[in-house]
Amino acid sequence: MEVICLKNYSEEVEFAKRAGKHFAENSLHHTFTDCDIDESTFLAVRWGLLEDCVVVIKMDESHKPKIYEGLGRRK
């Protein structure tokens, strides 16, 4: 069983949405972060056959990477 902290989860979802918007507007970019990378920050990677998914990772061994579908569609 996994315990979800809604505050932390919503922060990750909002980050994934910002990353998807960034990827849609910047077709040559394949990674995104909105601050310096350390163990407490999120990093997004463009993903998928159509490059319309966003993988969100955190440099923290307890974080489980998640794939968000359909967020990085190019304009």
What is the per-residue pLDDT across 52-73, written as a single tens digit (0 to 9) for each? 899 999 988 888 899 999 886 7
For residues 5 and 53, what is the distance between their CA atoms, to the nearest angstrom? 23
Please name which of 54, 56, 57, 51 lies closest in space to residue 74, comparing C-alpha atoms: 51
User: Around 52, how many Cα atoms within 13 Å sit in the side-chain half-sphere?
Assistant: 7
Q: Model-level pTM?
A: 0.83
Residues 6+ apart with CB under 8 A from 32: 18, 19, 22, 23, 43, 44
pLDDT exceeds cutoff 70 at 50: yes
For residues 22 and 20, what is the distance between their CA atoms, to the nearest angstrom? 5
Domain boundaries, the chain: 6-68
